[in-house]
Amino acid sequence: MFLALSEMRRARTRFALLSAAVGLLVFLILFQQSLLDGLVTKFIGAIRTQDAQVLVLSRDAKGDLEGSRLTLAQLPDVAAVGGVADYGRLVVGSYTISTRTSQVDPDPKLRLIDASVWGYDLGSIGGPKSLVDGVRPSQPNEILAPTGFEDQGLTLGATVRIEPGDIELKIVGRAKDLVYGVRPALFMAWDTVTQAAAARNPDAGEISPTAFVFKPVPGTSAGALVDQINGAFPEVQALTRVDAADNAPVVASVSTTFSTIINLLRFVVLLTCGLFFLILTAQKTSTLTVLRAMGAKSSTLVTALLIQVVFVVLAGAVLASILQLLVSIPLKKVGVSLDPVSALTTTAVVLVLALIGTALGAIRRIVKIDPAAATGLQGASS
């Protein structure tokens, strides 16, 4: 410990610059991860938020919720599969809404709001898992709205009008992350969506369910119920809530892009730390050789090097967390935030990569030092 800290004090500028470089790389990783989570939430947050553990879509939808169309006649048969504690129906559609706030907006383009409307059977599953404020709807004229859209008038107690038609609904509760397709998701009674569909197109007839939602009995996992449904009904596709969110087409493409960038940044961390400590070790080879000749063990020198790596990564992680916290203030609207779990996980991954990079270069060089070479150094100096 003393050897590692003593060297860091003597070359504080070098180690400070390396810590800053690692900190910037960690910050970029945290920022990309946070931005990815924010974007994904804006696309499929409503799927993650609803309380059904299993969703059943039509097979030809290929995991796309809005592309799924089922029939009400299919529900009793699918629900008869063993292991079902509760089930319901869900319809998802795109509608135009307005609020008293949006109706008086100076910009005519902002007076109407594109929204995702989710209809489910009140008192059954399919609604949000938890609320931020208010209560769950119990009447057809009551709805749940997302937080974060207060500037558009989606506040507790506000009135929402579905356009076209004279359907006015009262927001009685709000939940976090009720967003789908970058639009606010409004949860309401199945009959209310039926009324809205009829107002928009009187000749449409009865609406079709977008998905069936299920809750397994205690002792039966969501995955087991999914396997039972898929095995019994090849015309439908059952997915767990997590898979339904992660397999959404837009999520896969966005995740792939961001994962590529994040993995590239991780590789840069490995390369940066590996090269820095390799160069530093090469520059002090003669000093290390003398220390070995004086009886210092290779393990002692390696331990000192590892301590330096840990200090550099931890200092960089602290700097990255501070930067992430600072940028999250102006970018909170797009979902950028400092997640402590993500910060700790990223720090651990970066530390492992830094240690691997150091082990591939600097540590191997230290282990290969021959104490007998110190005599040659002494001869050369004399």
Sequential DSSP letters for 173-201: EEETT-EETTEEEEEEEHHHHHHHHHHH-
Q: Are residues 35 and 176 in the same domain?
A: no
Q: By residue range, what is the domain housing residue 134?
A: 45-247
Residue where one domain finishes, among candidates 247, 279, 299: 247
Please report, as a single letter, which amino acid is at residue 30: L
Number of domains in the chain: 2
Residues 117 and 205 in one domain: yes
238 & 125 share domain = yes
> Could you say which of 247, 269, 288 is where a domain stops?
247
Residues 355-376 as b or e (16 or more Cβ within 10 Å = b): bebbbebbbeebeebebeebee
| Residue listed under structure tokens 């949860």 | 187
28 and 77 together in one domain: no
Specify whether 218 is located in the same domain as 136.
Answer: yes
Considering the domain architecture, whether residues 113 and 178 belong to the same structural domain is answered as yes
Query: pLDDT by residue for the chain (382 residues), tens digit each?
Result: 566 677 677 778 888 888 899 999 999 999 999 888 888 888 889 999 999 999 999 998 888 888 889 999 999 999 998 889 999 999 998 899 999 998 888 888 888 999 999 999 998 898 998 899 999 999 989 999 999 899 899 999 999 999 877 789 999 999 998 999 889 999 999 999 988 888 888 776 778 899 999 999 998 899 999 999 999 899 999 999 999 888 887 787 888 888 899 999 989 989 988 888 888 888 777 777 777 677 777 777 888 888 888 898 999 999 999 999 999 888 877 778 888 898 999 999 999 999 898 888 887 877 777 666 656 554 444 4
86 and 161 housed in the same domain = yes
Task: Please check whether residues 64 and 150 belong to one and the same domain.
Answer: yes
Question: Mind spelling out the 3-state secondary structure of 6-18?
Answer: HHHHHCHHHHHHH
The pTM for the full model equals: 0.78
The answer on 86 and 158 residing in a single domain is yes
Q: Degrees (nearest 5) of the Cα angle 26, 27, 28?
A: 90
What is the total residue count of the chain? 382
Helices (H), 50-189: 74-79, 100-103
Same domain, 240 and 260: no
Same-domain check for residues 39 and 58: no
Q: Mark which of 232, 247, 262 sits at the end of a domain.
A: 247
**Do both 63 and 199 map to the same domain?**
yes
